[in-house]
């Protein structure tokens, strides 16, 4: 099941950027297929057929659609309407009906507390203005014992040289906003939100951090 719900976007500049590159993004191959396959496997080891799952910042839907056969339902959203349109097309082509795609942002999403068994955030936390706020909201929306799965580019670890380029590119509307988080900062944010970290893995690129964290209970 798929649908698109147009909601007010408070950061139109970044939305336009991702709309503009969505088609190219969808065609871009995964940079490290082995690392991606391991992330999928690690996540799927926590999934069961009765689960309700949420993914925010879902992009063109590849990860949500890959996990769909392992769970009851996935609600996946992204603030780019074009990304969501591509994701819907993929779902139709594959005949997958237990993923609902909507246009939304984690900042605007109003979930019920204790609603989801697992929440996914793939390559999105470093693009948020308030990642700590997103983590706090994620903690609240998870059931006790639920898991949070996140893959994040930690640009502060070895890519500080890129920061002035990123700031200038964003000011010129050529790049989206990015936050320069370190792996240790991200882990601290996750713990401060109330989670217990169960898995913390750095793929070969040395910059990405893949985390699985659990809400106690």
118 vs 2, which has greater pLDDT? 118
pLDDT value at 9 more than 70:
no
Q: What is the pLDDT of residues 147-165, one digit of tens each?
A: 999 999 998 887 776 666 6
Report d(CA 70, CA 44) in Å as an integer: 7
pTM: predicted TM-score of the whole model, two decimal places: 0.89
pLDDT of residue 215: 98
- The alpha carbons of the chain give a radius of gyration, in whole angstroms, of 16
What is the pLDDT at residue 127? 92
Q: What CATH number is given for 12-214 in this structure?
A: 3.40.50.150
Q: Say how far residue 108 (Cα) sits from the centre of its chain.
A: 15
pLDDT of residue 172: 64
Provide the pairing of β-strand 52-56 with 142-153.
unpaired
Mean pLDDT, range 116-139, rounded to an integer: 96
pLDDT at 169: 65
Domain ranges of the chain: 12-214
């Amino acid at each position: 099941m798929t649908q698109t719900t147009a909601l007010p976007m408070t950061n139109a500049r970044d939305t336009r950027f991702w709309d503009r590159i969505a088609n190219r993004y969808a065609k871009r191959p995964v940079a490290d297929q082995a690392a991606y396959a391991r992330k999928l496997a690690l996540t799927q080891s926590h999934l069961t057929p009765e689960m309700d799952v949420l993914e925010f910042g879902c992009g063109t839907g590849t990860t949500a659609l890959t996990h769909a056969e392992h769970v009851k339902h996935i609600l996946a959203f992204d603030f780019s309407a074009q990304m969501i349109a591509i994701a819907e097309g993929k779902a139709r082509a594959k005949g997958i009906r237990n993923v609902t795609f909507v246009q939304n942002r984690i900042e605007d999403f109003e979930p019920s507390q204790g609603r989801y068994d697992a929440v996914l955030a793939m390559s999105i936390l470093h693009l948020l203005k308030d990642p700590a706020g997103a983590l706090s909201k994620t903690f609240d929306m998870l059931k006790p014992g639920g898991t949070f799965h996140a893959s994040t580019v930690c640009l502060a670890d070895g890519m500080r040289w890129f920061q002035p380029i990123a700031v200038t590119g964003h000011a010129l509307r050529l790049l989206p906003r990015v936050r320069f988080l370190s792996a240790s900062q991200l882990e601290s944010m996750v713990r401060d939100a109330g989670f217990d970290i169960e898995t913390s893995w750095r793929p070969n690129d040395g910059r990405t951090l893949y985390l699985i964290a659990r809400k106690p209970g």
